[in-house]
Amino acid sequence: MKKNFHMVIVGGDVRQIEVAKIIREKGAKVSLVGFTQVSDDSFEMIKCGFQEIDYSQVDAILVPVSGLDHDGKVEARYSDEEISLTKKHLENTPDHCVIYTGVKTPYLTKLMETTGRKVVPMFARDDMAILNSIPTAEGTLKIAIEHTDFMIHGSKVMVLGYGRVGKTIARLFAAVGAKVLVGARKEADLARIIEVGLTPFQLKDLRDEVNHVDICINTIPHMVLTPEVLDKMNRDSLIIDVASKPGGTDFEYAKEKGIKALLELGIPGKVAPKSAGAIIAKVLIDLLETEFS
């Protein structure tokens, strides 16, 4: 990274604290915003208020994995006040300033278009998504254990989607002895599911496959667990939806049916924040060294 490189980390959770520590170790100046409720001598000197930042000296901004909401508000779990990143803030940054995020939300897309600043969605990278799937899978297993009264070993677990997260979740549950069914659309994915010793089915046949499932884990970010599907599901089943907000489950209908359905977002930050922060930092440093070398 260039000399006197300055990164502002805005909001987030414990993962961002870990990122701040690692980026500082690389010799960069780091300003950590939105952590007034956290006291830790190891990063106290870099904490500051959002309005204290000299934006003309900011080279990069890291926002939470979830990006910004439709009003530009930043998720800041440990802040005493609401924080928003606006067009005015970005217009005061140098032209080369880059915004790093987990996902590119509509608001961030609009900021990119109106200010000309580059927005980099890190979770679009295969390495980031695959590495992050590990704590996601471990956390999903933890949630399954906490919300059931039976062993995972020998239980019938359905995983919807065989992408980067679905693969890791299916593999982990199989490793602890669950009977894992995986729903996918692509023929290549269905063949790969067989190859690794799991049971595949076409997602179009979900209604016929969902009965007698003990745990259903959804990784698909659009509506798949519809009322028609939920009508076929056993009321004792547990749904764990790890897809991006709002998930792929009709939660209201599941509640009406008496089916426990959990929307679990940001699992890595809850179950393994130190490791998850190190994963973000690793990918971020690669990006920064490419962009600012």
Residue 283 lies in a domain: no
Q: Is residue 139 domain-shared with residue 250, that is, in the same domain?
A: yes
Residues in the chain: 293
Q: What CA–CA distance (Å, rounded) separates 218 from 127? A: 21
Which residues span the domain enclosing 147?
132-270
Q: At which of 65, 95, 124 does a domain end?
A: 124
The pLDDT assigned to 66 comes to 86
Q: Is residue 88 domain-shared with residue 208, that is, in the same domain?
A: no
Q: Is residue 115 domain-shared with residue 42, that is, in the same domain?
A: yes
Q: Is residue 146 domain-shared with residue 257, that is, in the same domain?
A: yes
At which residue do the structure tokens 């961030």 appear?
A: 108
Q: Is residue 108 domain-shared with residue 157, that is, in the same domain?
A: no
State the CB neighbour count (10 A cutoff) for residue 118.
14
Residue 280 lies in a domain: no
Q: Is residue 75 domain-shared with residue 99, that is, in the same domain?
A: yes
Residue 279 lies in a domain: no
Which tokens sit at 226? 């519809």
Please, what is the Cα angle at 286 between 283 and 292, to 5 degrees? 135
Which tokens sit at 256? 């009406």
pTM for this model (two decimals): 0.87
Q: Is residue 163 domain-shared with residue 86, that is, in the same domain?
A: no
Q: What CA–CA distance (Å, rounded) separates 178 from 175? A: 7
Q: Is residue 44 domain-shared with residue 143, that is, in the same domain?
A: no
Structure confidence at residue 4 as a pLDDT band (50, 70, 90): confident
Residues contacting 49, CB < 8 A, separation 6+: 33
Which domain CATH number covers 172? Answer: 3.40.50.720
Q: Is residue 114 domain-shared with residue 162, that is, in the same domain?
A: no
Residue 39 lies in a domain: yes
Least confident of 41-45, 196-200, 211-215: 41-45
pLDDT in tens, 114-173: 999 999 999 999 999 999 999 999 999 999 999 999 999 999 999 999 999 999 999 999
Indicate the number of domains in the chain.
Answer: 2
The pLDDT assigned to 80 comes to 83
Q: Is residue 174 domain-shared with residue 193, that is, in the same domain?
A: yes
pLDDT in tens, 262-280: 999 889 999 999 999 999 9
At which residue do the structure tokens 């062993």 appear?
A: 151
Which tokens sit at 29? 């100046």
Q: Is residue 115 domain-shared with residue 201, that is, in the same domain?
A: no
Predicted confidence (pLDDT) at residue 41 exceeds the cutoff of 90: no
Residue 285 lies in a domain: no
Report the candidate in 74, 70, 26 with the shortest Cα–Cα distance to residue 50.
74
Which tokens sit at 246? 């709002």
Q: At which of 92, 124, 156 does a domain end?
A: 124
Q: Is residue 73 domain-shared with residue 145, that is, in the same domain?
A: no
pLDDT in tens, 6-30: 999 999 888 999 999 999 999 899 9
Residue 290 lies in a domain: no
Q: At which of 58, 89, 124 does a domain end?
A: 124
**Three-state DSSP class for 195?**
helix
The pLDDT assigned to 132 comes to 94
Residues contacting 28, CB < 8 A, separation 6+: 1, 5, 6, 7, 288
pLDDT in tens, 190-200: 999 999 999 99
Residue 258 lies in a domain: yes
The pLDDT assigned to 1 comes to 66
Residues contacting 38, CB < 8 A, separation 6+: 17, 78
State the CB neighbour count (10 A cutoff) for residue 114.
11
Q: What CA–CA distance (Å, rounded) separates 243 from 166? A: 10
The pLDDT assigned to 43 comes to 72
Cross-strand pairs, 142 = none
Residues contacting 127, CB < 8 A, separation 6+: 283
Residue 164 lies in a domain: yes
Strands (E), the chain: 6-10, 29-33, 47-48, 60-62, 98-101, 118-121, 156-160, 179-184, 199-202, 215-218, 238-241, 260-263
